[in-house]
A and B are shown apart, each in its own frame.
Chain A
Amino acid sequence: MTAPVLELRGLTKTFPLKDGFGRARGEVRAVDDVSLSIAPGEVFGLAGESGSGKSTIARMVMGLDSPDSGDILLDGQSILGAASLAHKSRVQMVFQNPGASLNPRRTVGQSVRVALDAHKVAGDRPARVGELLDMVQLPKHFADRYPHELSGGQKQRVAIARALAISPRLMILDEPTSALDVSVQARVIDLLESLGRDLGLTYLFISHDLSLMRNFAARVGVLYLGQIVETGDTGSVFADPRHDYTRLLLASVPVMSAEEEALRPTIPMIDGELPTAEELMALRAKEGRGTT
């Protein structure tokens, strides 16, 4: 097996909980001993609900937060304590809300150029900007437009072009399509797939949408309360989920056909209701046959 692009080893991050006067009242483990590795050209999906720690992991890989313990290796080198700019030129991120992640006072061209300038990339700027827009299938004259003149899908393409500007090794996609309509989402995902193939990109794909994950990610890790409860090849995790939380997540997905309905695992009802994750875990613990 080739050396992984990204490797996380026992990554842990805690945040202090404070009361109304700013005094520490305890702490919350946002990320708890997370280890994973992503091979070159692979799409790795991190699935989890709010509070599972998926965004905290993304922020640490980006170098925006530092872990309490554990290590983050990019191409075999630890990024902790390394010169930050050198690291950032190898990892780029596409955020969830393209309306908020683009500066409204900059034209599309200016936004993309910021990345080139910050990393002191040599070469003809307008030509490179045109090339990048071409890569995300936007016409070159869009460089002179402002974000408010673009649709949601077009804005997200600009955000992708900006992330591609410095030819990163690893792209972190944090819910890149959750703000978009389904038809637009399908086109953005197609674009990401073809870019990944053509440029040999490696993706860390963060989402709560399991159907999307099934179609886009080759391997998946399911996060629950900061821990990876299950990881593996996406097809096999979805076909035969081992952990109760994965089963609950899959059972909760609204589906489109009877065939898909058959794919969803059945979950024991509590008082005629779907249980919450906590209730399900408690039930399993009581039965004394929790799967982890």
Chain B
Amino acid sequence: MSLLRVRDLDVSFTTYGRRTQVLHGVSLDVPAGAQVALVGESGSGKSVTMKAIMGLLPQPPASIEAGTIHFDGDDLLTMRERDRLKLRGTAMSMVFQDPMSSLNPVFTIMDQLGTILKYADRRLGRARGRKGRVARVHEVLAQVRMRDPERVASSWPIMLSGGMRQRVLIAMALLSEPRLLIADEPGTALDVTTQAQILKLLKDLVTDNDLALLMITHNLGVVRETSTTTYVMEKGRIVEHGETTEMFAAPRHPYTRDLLAAVPRLGGRKGAA
């Protein structure tokens, strides 16, 4: 039984009276504790898929025309908004891409993480006092391997480097002990050495806490580093999926083959391009 199960998802957008279908029968599975990647180039529909799963698609202009999304057996598309709110940011949470713009510049890290935690607690009917929240924020900051959680908590975003801000965003996603983490291109805005640290951190967190990870990215190197199963999207369709290293060694679909062939190799050219 998959933790996240998407079946035959059709999504279309209607703008100026013109309807464009952007997802065509997308199906994917994220088993509990598994690391899955959804890879595609810009416009392939990976972000729309992610937004449909998180319930963040603006409707209208978007409309989910067919298909189902199940999380832990519950149908996300038919459940009441109140119940969905209980899942979003708690059992399933997101790590956003841009550490510069995803944090509010005028509040400290403690203010921002504390507020998120407060509302998550309220939605789930958990009782936790201010002291408990402060302790939990320090705890998650330590979990993302901040050397000095107290100092980070009292900082404003501008006082932190890009890599540290990305860690704060990961900490934010971990606040309510999620079971599924959806990561949208984490680290793409960072330098390679910092990106490598962030990817290693995510991988360690996922395995240590038995989290499921859905990694959304355009970077095939990142896919290979972070996932065991890969879905390749092109023009709103899943064109190939399978075990990551097998697929990279022997891609079956022509699009996957082209995509893999287009990536420059660290060892220099492989045969004639």
Contact = CB atoms under 8 A, between A and B. Distances in A.
Q: Is the interface of B mostly helix, strand, loop or mixed?
A: helix
A6 B193 CA distance: 30
Given A190-B273, A249-B192, A254-B196, A182 B266 contact: no
Interface string B218-229: 111110110000
Nearest to B145: A273
A211 B266 contact: yes
Interface residues of B, number: 37
A238 B265 CA distance: 12
B262 A264 contact: no
Q: Is the interface of A mostly helix, strand, loop or mixed?
A: helix
A211 B266 CA distance: 4
Interface in A235-252: 235, 238, 248-252
Contacts of B259: 182-183
A283 to B, nearest CB: 14
Interface in B199-223: 199-201, 218-222
Contacts of A238: 266-268
A119 to B, nearest CB: 34
B83 interface: no
B258 A276 contact: no
Contact of A273 (B42, B200, B260): B200
A216 B268 CA distance: 9
B195 A182 contact: no
A254 B225 contact: yes
A150 interface: no
Interface residues of A, number: 39
Contacts of B220: 182, 256
A64 interface: no
27 contacts: A152-B42, A181-B42, A181-B218, A182-B218, A182-B263, A183-B259, A186-B273, A189-B264, A190-B273, A211-B263, A211-B264, A215-B268, A249-B193, A252-B192, A253-B266, A254-B196, A254-B199, A255-B265, A256-B221, A258-B245, A259-B267, A260-B266, A263-B266, A263-B267, A264-B266, A273-B200, A276-B197
Contacts of A2: none
A257 B263 contact: no
A274 interface: yes
B262 A273 contact: no
B13 interface: no
